Amino acid sequence: MSKAKEMMEFIEKSPTAFQAIANIAEKFDKAGFVRLQESEEFSLEKGKSYYLTRNGSSILAFRVGEELSEPSFKAAASHCDCPAFKVKPNGVIAAEHYARLNTEVYGGALFTPWYDRPLSLAGRLVVREGEKISAKLFDLKKDFAVIPSLAIHMNREANQGFASNPQSDLLPLVSERKDFDLRKYLAKEAHIAEKDLLSYDLYLYPRQKGFFFGEKKEFLCSHHLDDLACAYTSSEAFLSTKDEKGINVYACFDNEEVGSLTRQGAASDFLSATLERVAAALDLNYRSVLAHSMMLSCDNAHAAHPAHPEKNDPTNHCFMNQGIVIKYNANQSYTTDALSAAVFVSLLEKKKIPYQYFTNRSDLRGGSTLGNISNGQVSLLSLDIGMPQLAMHSPMETAGSRDVDYMIEGIEAYYAAHLQLTSDMNYVLS
Ligand SMILES: [Zn+2]
């Protein structure tokens, strides 16, 4: 099976951050990684691989080199959350003869494409089990809801642009009964007693499966490419490589779409505290190891849109299937600088892996990601890369099939290399 197909299968079974992290953890289990608990002492050995999760929605993993002769951390970080609609605690609104879910927008969702498509619910339920309170993964896996458009006849201006109101237009229809009871419904679907369902974190997600399209199936369209494409490709590269002289690190964080400032986000102490503990458990000096270390911040990039070339920077725009995108921003919303780009580009060139550059137009603000946020906690030589894609933050996003392989190969080249800082601006790659 092609890696692009495998990636879409991973995305299909990862409708929210909770499922994505469970699936990544399962991959690490199968590869023989040892699962650590934050609440327990770390006891680590050279040559072994480990992982731990926080909140069930962020994960860190590391592979300790057999020799560990020139210790450095070489990390790749991505995020597993995506813009969606989150169900409120009192989650049902009666409207005329119907019931709709009362939801709140999570992140910077592109509203229009959410209309008139089959939607389901996933996330986690928190339940009482005797004296215990436990979080359970939940995925309804049914066509459960639709956000119906208003007919063109009732809004003749709709095609000239329609401002969706999240508290009225975007609430999904779920029942013809005004008294629809969501808690009862969830308890039944999850096979638990209603009295034991204490709370939930549930999000709407599109039911449509990912698919390939185009003359040669050179494109793919899927839910959640931003950023599960990077979470997947970096995990594949992480699993297939080792740096025997150093420590390779895989990170996938929740809550990037809402600013990362949560217990499990890139702005938390999850990465810094874990790396400090790893260094201590291996008897290494954390600060001096950090000085030799590097991070790839992996999050997708905007490919040039065929209908809107005017949105591109004139000389730094990128295309699907043309390789890994290296993202620059003068104001450092991307962490790339000449030094980090040179280190990465030299690795790509050695393996003949295509790459391209992206900057925003000088009159467009553009987006940001977790790299610079994480750098405030764990300060490393960093750069921002990603897969070029269209329709970012739509429930179905489009990317190039071949770029999946380029991403894996490029991150493999990075993880397989050993990086050593010999003076403040002087790196040796081996
Ligand atoms: Zn992203």
DSSP per residue, 278-335 = HHHHTT--HHHHHHT-EEEEE--EEBPPTT-GGGS-SSS-B-TTS-EEEE--TTSSS-
Q: Tell me if 328 sits within 8 A of 358, measured CB to CB.
A: yes
Cα(105) to ligand 1 centroid in Å equals 16
Confidence at residue 370, expressed as pLDDT on a 0 to 100 scale: 85
Cα(266) to ligand 1 centroid in Å equals 12
Q: Tell me if 54 sits within 8 A of 270, measured CB to CB.
A: yes
Nearest to 395 by CA among 170, 123, 119: 119
Residue 56 has pLDDT above 90, yes or no: yes
Cα(78) to ligand 1 centroid in Å equals 8
**Domain termination residue (choose one: 206, 234, 256):** 206
Would residue 109 count as lying in a domain? yes
**Domain termination residue (choose one: 180, 206, 232):** 206
Point out which residues pair with 60 in neighbouring strands. Answer: 52, 251
* 9 and 29 within one domain: yes
Cα(90) to ligand 1 centroid in Å equals 29
Cα(394) to ligand 1 centroid in Å equals 12
Would residue 191 count as lying in a domain? yes
* 291 and 193 within one domain: no
Residue 40 has pLDDT above 90, yes or no: yes
Cα(369) to ligand 1 centroid in Å equals 6
What pLDDT digit, counting tens, does each position of 327-376 carry? 999 988 899 999 999 999 999 999 999 999 999 999 998 888 888 888 88
In this structure, the strands spanning 397-400 and 219-222 are antiparallel
Global pTM reads 0.97
Residues 232-248: what's their mean pLDDT? 97
Cα(239) to ligand 1 centroid in Å equals 22
Cα(189) to ligand 1 centroid in Å equals 31
Cα(301) to ligand 1 centroid in Å equals 8
Confidence at residue 376, expressed as pLDDT on a 0 to 100 scale: 87
Cα(341) to ligand 1 centroid in Å equals 20
Whole domain around residue 116: which residue ranges? 84-206
* 143 and 35 within one domain: no
Sorted by sequence, the CB contacts under 8 Å of residue 130 that are 6+ apart come out as none
* 379 and 233 within one domain: yes
Cα(56) to ligand 1 centroid in Å equals 19
* 89 and 76 within one domain: no
Cα(79) to ligand 1 centroid in Å equals 7
Please, what is the angle between helix 225-240 and helix 3-12, to 10°? 120
Would residue 324 count as lying in a domain? yes
The CATH number of the domain where 256 resides is what?
3.40.630.10
The CATH number of the domain where 162 resides is what?
2.30.250.10
Cα(367) to ligand 1 centroid in Å equals 9
Residues 234-252: what's their mean pLDDT? 97
- Residue count of the chain: 430
In this structure, the strands spanning 294-298 and 381-386 are parallel
Cα(349) to ligand 1 centroid in Å equals 26
* 101 and 112 within one domain: yes
Would residue 218 count as lying in a domain? no
Cα(380) to ligand 1 centroid in Å equals 20
* 187 and 166 within one domain: yes
**Domain termination residue (choose one: 176, 206, 236):** 206
Cα(95) to ligand 1 centroid in Å equals 35
Cα(13) to ligand 1 centroid in Å equals 19
* 152 and 293 within one domain: no
Residue 429 has pLDDT above 90, yes or no: no
Residue 95 has pLDDT above 90, yes or no: no
Cα(227) to ligand 1 centroid in Å equals 5
* 241 and 128 within one domain: no
Residues 208-226: what's their mean pLDDT? 97
Point out which residues pair with 146 in neighbouring strands. Answer: 173
Cα(236) to ligand 1 centroid in Å equals 18
- Is the four-CA dihedral 193, 196, 199, 200 of positive or negative sign? negative
Cα(298) to ligand 1 centroid in Å equals 8
Residues 153-179: what's their mean pLDDT? 95
Nearest to 253 by CA among 232, 277, 271, 274: 271
Query: How far apart are alpha carbons 160 and 147 in whole angstroms?
Result: 20
Of 139-143, 146-150, 319-323, 378-382, which range is least confident? 378-382
Cα(43) to ligand 1 centroid in Å equals 34
Residues 375-398: what's their mean pLDDT? 95
Q: Where are the beta strands (DSSP E) in 150-293?
A: 173-175, 197-206, 211-213, 219-222, 247-253
Cα(192) to ligand 1 centroid in Å equals 35
Sorted by sequence, the CB contacts under 8 Å of residue 323 that are 6+ apart come out as 353, 354, 355, 356, 403, 406
| Mean pLDDT, the chain, whole residue set | 96
Cα(285) to ligand 1 centroid in Å equals 33
Structure-block tokens of residue 16:
């929210």
Sorted by sequence, the CB contacts under 8 Å of residue 224 that are 6+ apart come out as 11, 14, 15, 82, 205, 397
Q: What percent of the chain has pLDDT over 90?
A: 92
In this structure, the strands spanning 49-54 and 58-64 are antiparallel
Would residue 211 count as lying in a domain? no
Total structural domains in the chain? 2
* 400 and 292 within one domain: yes
* 173 and 66 within one domain: no
Would residue 360 count as lying in a domain? yes
Q: Tell me if 226 sits within 8 A of 397, measured CB to CB.
A: yes
* 372 and 238 within one domain: yes
Cα(18) to ligand 1 centroid in Å equals 16
Would residue 267 count as lying in a domain? yes
Confidence at residue 426, expressed as pLDDT on a 0 to 100 scale: 85
Cα(299) to ligand 1 centroid in Å equals 5
Would residue 105 count as lying in a domain? yes
Cα(228) to ligand 1 centroid in Å equals 9
